[in-house]
Amino acid sequence: MSDEAGSTGRKETALHQHWCEHPGCKKWGSFGFAAGKPEPRWFCMEHRPEWKPKHA
C-alpha cells in the first residue's frame, strides 16, 4: 500500500530569509537560537551568542 495515493504537492515556494538580528548588521543569519516556545532569533557567525547547555 502506498502513502502517495491521493497526496498533493506542497504549494510553498517562498524562501525564508533570516537576517542577523544584531543592530546594524546586514549579514545572513545562519544561526537560529530559541529557548522554549518563542520564535528563534537569528544571528550571523560573527554575532551569534554563545550556546549555554541546559544542564551545565
3-state secondary structure of 17: coil
Q: Which amino acid belongs to residue 6?
A: G
pLDDT value of position 3: 66
Q: What is the pLDDT of residues 4-52, one digit of tens each?
A: 677 777 777 777 788 999 999 999 998 888 877 888 889 999 998 887 6
User: Could you tell me which residue, 11 or 55, shows the higher pLDDT?
Assistant: 11
Show me where the domains of the chain are located: 17-51
Q: Which three cell numbers stand for residue 49?
A: 551568542
Is pLDDT at 56 greater than 80 in this prediction? no
* Torsional sign, CA 18, 19, 20, 22: negative
- Cell 537560537 sits on residue: 33
Q: Model's pTM, two decimal places?
A: 0.58
Task: State the Cα–Cα distance between residues 2 and 14, nearest whole angstrom.
Answer: 29
Task: State the Cα–Cα distance between residues 51 and 56, nearest whole angstrom.
Answer: 11
